Chain A
């Protein structure tokens, strides 16, 4: 551990001269122990704190029909979510290593949809490519153009430090719920095979595109009919047996 060395250089010693002592302390065990402790702390800690996504759902109380606000057909957009499965596990895209979620969306109200030739359209969560929104994000951004324009300006101001983060948050929130602007009403309908990730992705898109009016509902019989129609038109199989039966 620690040793005291006598330096006996020079050979000849004068009588009565003090012996020179140098003290070496071996720190190796100390380092060993520290490394162990570091390893312990590294394994036992969470460095990244989880984030939260806040949602507000309506209560389960029955709402009278006349009290319900009907969305205008021009503003409504319905997204039916679906996750592709392989056996009983979500199918994973070989390229990106992520689960494949499909979105079947339609604009307007389902009942009038049958009268037109426009049926469901298929999209996916692609996110941004070269900083340009792709996939469903592009569609949603297009629907919320008026709000997004202002939002981009606000963000620019915040980045240039003209306004503080708090101000930016406040203004962005006000902007997202500005009733003078044309804003979409989005209904998210997770199908029976949708995974939790699919739902989170959808809510996330709402936040990214500053859509303040959205709700989460279960698909209706009309939606199933629309999906069936889409199947016939494209030859794809969308409606598959539910992977998890409700217990």
Chain B
């Protein structure tokens, strides 16, 4: 009888194919991805059948925070209705241009200081430079210098704490546009002024591309209603959102977009 030889099989598995697949997937994700923007609070937008995409650029997003859902606070509405403005919209947006954002900051600060001569906001060059790099902000003008001096982690922590009365752009006291503007209106006015000025080519030091993009923003703001998008949670009461509408109406920016998710017409709404 011959010996039965047990053949030793190697346990090595050829991973080359697997590696190929993963690299392909990786390439796909890298090419198709746009990064999530850092936002101080998460909102779930309601859905609509509108198929209009959010314009990649020329967009100022106004984020309206929603009430607390974790049950951490006794009064969940403490966190509700705080406003944040983002100039960037998307990562590759034109408004991410640092130069233009700084122009808006300068305009907004000078508008604010005109109205509040007794305690004007003074920004150091460093603080100004920091503003060019941040995405979303939401503080009253009086807290702006303080926020801009914080380190990145501190700032995120600060903006994330919505219960803090110093977080959120003040929107109360909606007066007519001739009277005192509230902080939210000052920002809107600044955006509008800068867009208009660049549209009329009264600024220097901009590349033709930047100029074109800003003139697009101007058209988008005034005609198409694509310049400003409001992003609010679906459970936010209308009264809270209405305050934002009301302010925009006062500023005569009465055409704007509401951010929604997509749903089909046949999908039951109820």
Looking at the complex, which of A142-150, A196-204, A220-228, A233-241 is the stretch in contact with chain B? A196-204
Given contacts A88-B76, A194-B238, A195-B234, contact A52 B260 (CB under 8 A): yes
Tell me if B144 is interfacial: C-beta within 8 Å of chain A: no
Tell me if A65 is interfacial: C-beta within 8 Å of chain B: no
Tell me if B259 is interfacial: C-beta within 8 Å of chain A: yes
Cβ-defined contact, A195 with B236, below 8 A: yes
Tell me if B204 is interfacial: C-beta within 8 Å of chain A: no
Cβ-defined contact, A198 with B26, below 8 A: no
- CA separation between A125 and B265, bound complex, in Å? 12
Contact of A127 among B236, B239, B260, B267 (CB under 8 A): B267
- CA separation between A247 and B82, bound complex, in Å? 11
Contact residues in A for B200 (Cβ distance below 8 Å): none
A-B Cβ contacts below 8 A, count = 217
Tell me if A73 is interfacial: C-beta within 8 Å of chain B: no
Contact residues in A for B172 (Cβ distance below 8 Å): 247
Contact of B233 among A41, A53, A96, A196 (CB under 8 A): A196
Question: Hey, what's the 0/1 contact readout for B18-56 against A, CB within 8 Å counting as 1?
Answer: 110011011001101111100000000111111111110
- CA separation between A214 and B247, bound complex, in Å? 20
Contact residues in B for A37 (Cβ distance below 8 Å): 26
Contact of A124 among B33, B67, B270 (CB under 8 A): B270
- From residue B68, how far is it (CB to closest CB) to chain A in Å? 10
Question: Hey, what's the 0/1 contact readout for B244-265 against A, CB within 8 Å counting as 1?
Answer: 0110111010111111111001
- From residue B8, how far is it (CB to closest CB) to chain A in Å? 13
- CA separation between A189 and B23, bound complex, in Å? 54
Tell me if B77 is interfacial: C-beta within 8 Å of chain A: yes
Cβ-defined contact, A52 with B238, below 8 A: no
Cβ-defined contact, A56 with B225, below 8 A: yes
Cβ-defined contact, B15 with A31, below 8 A: yes
Tell me if A60 is interfacial: C-beta within 8 Å of chain B: yes
- From residue B180, how far is it (CB to closest CB) to chain A in Å? 16
Chain A 119-139 interface residues, beta-carbon cutoff 8 Å to B: 124-129, 131, 135
Given contacts A45-B36, A127-B270, contact A53 B250 (CB under 8 A): no
Closest to B20 in A: A27
Given contacts A55-B225, A59-B254, A60-B250, contact A128 B266 (CB under 8 A): yes
Cβ-defined contact, A41 with B34, below 8 A: no
Given contacts A51-B260, A54-B52, A59-B249, contact A31 B19 (CB under 8 A): yes
- CA separation between A81 and B241, bound complex, in Å? 15
Cβ-defined contact, A99 with B235, below 8 A: yes
Contact residues in B for A198 (Cβ distance below 8 Å): 238
Given contacts A196-B234, A207-B48, contact A46 B36 (CB under 8 A): yes
Tell me if A94 is interfacial: C-beta within 8 Å of chain B: no
Contact of B30 among A24, A41, A201 (CB under 8 A): A41
Contact residues in A for B119 (Cβ distance below 8 Å): none
Question: Hey, what's the 0/1 contact readout for B224-238 against A, CB within 8 Å counting as 1?
Answer: 111001011111111
Given contacts A54-B225, A99-B235, contact A196 B46 (CB under 8 A): yes
Contact residues in A for B246 (Cβ distance below 8 Å): 60
Tell me if A26 is interfacial: C-beta within 8 Å of chain B: yes
Chain B residues close to A by CB (< 8 Å): 12-16, 18-19, 22-23, 25-26, 29-30, 32-36, 45-55, 67, 76-77, 80-81, 172, 176, 224-226, 229, 231-242, 245-246, 248-250, 252, 254-262, 265-270
4 smallest CB-CB distances across A and B, nearest first, come from A27-B15, A45-B33, A34-B22, A197-B234
Known: A51-B54, A51-B262, A52-B258; 14 extra A-B contacts, CB below 8 A, are: A46-B34, A50-B259, A51-B261, A52-B53, A53-B260, A54-B224, A81-B238, A98-B269, A99-B235, A126-B268, A127-B265, A127-B269, A135-B269, A196-B235
A-B contact pairs, 28 of them (CB 8 A): A24-B12, A41-B30, A45-B34, A46-B35, A50-B54, A51-B260, A52-B50, A52-B226, A53-B48, A54-B257, A55-B258, A57-B248, A59-B250, A60-B176, A98-B270, A101-B270, A127-B265, A128-B265, A193-B237, A195-B235, A197-B234, A200-B234, A200-B260, A201-B48, A203-B258, A207-B48, A218-B242, A244-B77
